[in-house]
Structure formats: structure tokens, C-alpha cells
Structure 1
Amino acid sequence: MIVVKKELFKAWFFLICAIVFEVLGTSFLKMENVILGYFFMAMFIAFSYFFMGKAIKKIQIGIAYAVWELLGIILILAISFIIFKENLTLSQILGIICSIAGIIMINIGEVKE
């Protein structure tokens, strides 16, 4: 029982790593130096997919992807507000809220094996 929990904890850790690296990779696309930005983006996205591959060995892919998208959206929004000083319109905010609600509903409604 403890081994299963430890492996599941590692899988969730890998998923969090995948999310963080994906957000970092996406954020580097805003760099002034385009070549360097693409280099870091490709490197971080590669790390992201590596960790996602490790995570889905123990986490259902539907749940892993839903969590990846949900946390990724939240982190990207935070970075866009804090670092890039970007704003959203009311319709964009409502769309994001609907997307988050949809991802949560998919996650809750997933059939467990």
C-alpha cells in the first residue's frame, strides 16, 4: 500500500513538473531575442513532455491532461498579468471561467477503472 502511494505521489510530482516546464516554455515565446526564446521554449516543452510521459504511467491520461490544462491556464494568466502586464476583456474572462469549469467537470466525471 505504501509503495503504491509513493509511486502515485511521484506521478503527481512529475505532472506538476510537466506543468511548470510547459508554462516556462510558453512564457519564453515573449522574449525580445527570438532565437533564444525559441531555444528555451523548445527545451522546456521537451522537459514538459518527458515529465508528462512519466506521469501518465500512473495517472489516467484524461485526468492528467485536464489538470495540466487547468493549472497551466491559471499559471499562464498569472504570468501574463504580473510579468507582461496584459489585460483581459470581460468576455475573455468569462471564457476562461467556462473553460476552467469544463475541465473541472471532466475531471470529476471521469470513470474510474
Structure 2
Amino acid sequence: MLGTKKTIFIAWFFLILAIVAEVIGTSFLKMSEAWGEFLALGIMAFFIAVSYFFMGLAIKKIQVGIAYAVWELLGVILILAVSFVIFHERLSNTQILGIFLALVGIVMINFGEKKE
């Protein structure tokens, strides 16, 4: 039983690493002007590859639907935080409503998935 809990914890840790790597990679797309397009795209590709590697490890123990829903939910929240803090971007009220509805949809999918 303890080994199973540890394995699940490690899988969730891998999922968090996947999400963070994906957010870092996505952030470098925006930095191509400051860093140079070739360097920024190379860094982005590296972090996206790292992200998929850890996602692959995570879904060995977490249902893929759950993992992807969490990835999307936390990824959107983190990339919005990065866009506000680092890039000083702002959203219109319509965009905020759309993101809120998307997040509600992801949460509903997560709660609605049948457990094995």
C-alpha cells in the first residue's frame, strides 16, 4: 500500500514537472525578440520535449484524461501569471470570461471522468 502511494505521488510530481516545463517552453516563444529567434525556439523545443517526457512518465500511473485536464488547468493558470508578471499583458473582460468558462469545463471533465 505504501509503495502504491509513493508511486502515485511520484507520478503527480512528474505531471507537475511536465506542466512547469511546458510553461517555460511556451514563455520562450514570446521571448524570441529579446533572445533571438533561433535561441528562443531552441530553448522552447527543449522544454516542450522535457514536458512530454515527464507527461509520458506521469500517465503510466495517472489516467490520461485526468492528467491532461490538470495539465491544461494548471498550464493556463501559470501561463496567465507569466504573461501578467513578465510580459505585462492584460486581458479584456470577454477574454477573462472565456478563460473562466474553459477552466470550469476542464474541472467538470475532471470530476465527470469515471474512476476505474
User: Could you tell me the TM-score, scaled by structure 1's length?
Assistant: 0.99
Q: Among residues 99, 106, 110, which one is paired with 1:103 in the alignment? A: 106
> CA separation in 1, counterparts of 2:30 and 2:94?
24
**Counterpart in 1 of 2:69?**
66
Provide the alpha-carbon RMSD of the alignment. Answer: 0.4
Asked if residue 13 in structure 1 is aligned to residue 22 in structure 2, the reply is no
Asked if residue 55 in structure 1 is aligned to residue 58 in structure 2, the reply is yes
> CA separation in 2, counterparts of 1:30 and 1:91?
23
TM-aligned CA deviation for residue 25 of structure 1: 0.2
The residue type equivalent to 2:99 in the other structure is I
> CA separation in 2, counterparts of 1:66 and 1:30?
24
TM-aligned CA deviation for residue 30 of structure 1: 1.2
TM-aligned CA deviation for residue 23 of structure 1: 0.2
Asked if residue 76 in structure 1 is aligned to residue 76 in structure 2, the reply is no
> CA separation in 2, counterparts of 1:65 and 1:40?
23
- Matched residues, number: 113
Identity across matched positions, percent: 68
TM-aligned CA deviation for residue 20 of structure 1: 0.1
Structure 2 residue runs of 5 or longer lacking an equivalent are none
TM-aligned CA deviation for residue 6 of structure 1: 0.3
Q: Which runs of 4+ in 1 moved over 4 A?
A: none
- SS of match in other structure, 1:102: helix
Alignment of 1:25-64 (within 5 A): 25-31=25-31, 32=33, 33-64=36-67
**Counterpart in 2 of 1:4?**
4
- SS of match in other structure, 2:53: helix
Asked if residue 22 in structure 1 is aligned to residue 22 in structure 2, the reply is yes
TM-aligned CA deviation for residue 92 of structure 1: 0.3
